[in-house]
């Protein structure tokens, strides 16, 4: 990796480490969001912890803006060099999910990844929402089930999407659609890892409920 990519990668990781939900809870109630509810440093837990839809939406929007911002910074420093945008988009999600300032705890990366894809290729943001709703209503009405369905489906569908469609929908210069697919797969992997724990917990609770019945 050259110095330019290393710089944008570290800068993007640092921006991802801005702990929006942690800051919001500290300002709102003086509490540490990691010690409340699921402990997740994200919009959903911020809403659960405070009951404030406004605060939850603010956290979600700011986290999404982090994702969008690093893509514009990558373009500012590197022009249309797609590798720089891919590094930036991946590293901002990594920073959000494993925040060095919070001892490598963090959020689950959905809002930040949404911000990234909104300015890189909104097609896959649409695919994510459609498959999320499919998982949520067809499999189980649980946000984590919907999210995991969307994460897996988006990564798989990215590899089956024709090159022409990717070229026509991308908002940035990407001469090789395979690079876009690899980028989507990398971000999806970071989201997948952070959603393993809630899915395990859901399975554990379901198993206990079945045993009690």
Segment 80-136, tens digit of pLDDT: 999 999 999 999 999 999 999 999 999 999 999 999 999 999 999 999 999 999 999
For residues 63 and 211, the model is more confident at 63
Assign 3-class secondary structure to 40-84.
Answer: CCCHHHHHHHHCCHHHHHHHHHHHHHHHHHHHHHHHHHHCCCHHH
Q: Which two tokens stand for residue 160?
A: 């089956």
Confidence of residue 158 (pLDDT cuts 50, 70, 90): very high
Structural domain boundaries in the chain: 3-212
Neighbouring CB atoms inside 10 A of 210's CB total: 8
Quick one: CA dihedral 75, 78, 81, 86, positive or negative?
negative
Q: What are the φ and ψ backbone dihedral angles of 44, each rounded to 5 degrees?
A: -65, -45
Where does residue 98 rank: exposed (0-12), middle (13-18), buried (19+ CB within 10 A)? Answer: buried
Distance CA 21, CA 28 (A): 10
- Return the pLDDT at 208: 74
Residue at token pair 């097609």:
123
Q: Given a cut of 60, is residue 30 above it in pLDDT?
A: yes
Output 202 or 187, whichever has higher pLDDT. 187
The stretch 181-193 carries a mean pLDDT of 97
* Mean pLDDT of the region 54-61: 97
Average pLDDT over residues 182-187: 97
* Phi, psi at 99, each rounded to 5°: -85, 115
pLDDT, averaged across the chain: 94
DSSP structure string for the chain: --HHHHHHHHHHHHHHT--HHHHHHHHHHS--GGGSTT---SHHHHHHHH--HHHHHHHHHHHHHHHHHHHHHHHHHHTT-HHHHHHHHHHHHHHHHSBGGGTTB----HHHHHHHHHHH-HHHHHHHHHHHHHHHHHT-S-HHHHHHHHHHHHHHHHHHS-HHHHHHH-SS--S-HHHHHHHHHHHHHHHHHHHHHHHHHHHHHHHHHHHH-
Range 45-58 average pLDDT: 94
User: In the predicted model, what is the mean pLDDT of residues 49-58?
Assistant: 94
**Confidence at residue 99, expressed as pLDDT on a 0 to 100 scale:** 98
Report pLDDT for 2. 82
Q: Is 160's pLDDT higher than 90?
A: yes
Q: Which two tokens stand for residue 209?
A: 């409920």
């Amino acid at each position: 990796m050259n110095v330019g990519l290393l710089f944008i990668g570290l800068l993007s990781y640092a921006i991802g480490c801005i702990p929006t939900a942690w800051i919001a809870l500290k300002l709102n109630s003086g509490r540490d969001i990691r010690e409340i509810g699921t402990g997740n440093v994200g919009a959903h837990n911020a809403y659960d912890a405070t009951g404030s839809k406004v605060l939850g939406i603010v956290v979600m929007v700011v986290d999404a803006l982090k994702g969008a911002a690093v893509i514009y910074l990558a373009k500012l420093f590197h022009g249309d060099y797609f590798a720089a945008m891919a590094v930036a988009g991946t590293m901002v999600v990594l920073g959000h999910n494993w925040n060095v300032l919070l001892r490598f705890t963090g959020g689950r990366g959905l809002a930040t990844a949404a911000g990234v894809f909104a300015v890189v290729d909104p097609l896959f943001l649409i695919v994510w929402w459609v498959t999320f709703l499919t998982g949520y209503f067809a499999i189980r009405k649980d946000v984590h089930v919907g999210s995991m369905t969307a994460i897996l489906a988006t990564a798989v569908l990215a590899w089956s999407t024709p090159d022409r469609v990717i070229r026509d929908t991308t908002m940035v210069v990407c001469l090789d659609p395979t690079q876009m697919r690899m980028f989507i797969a990398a971000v999806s992997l970071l989201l997948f890892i952070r959603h393993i724990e809630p899915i395990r917990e859901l399975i554990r609770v379901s198993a206990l409920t079945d045993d009690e019945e």
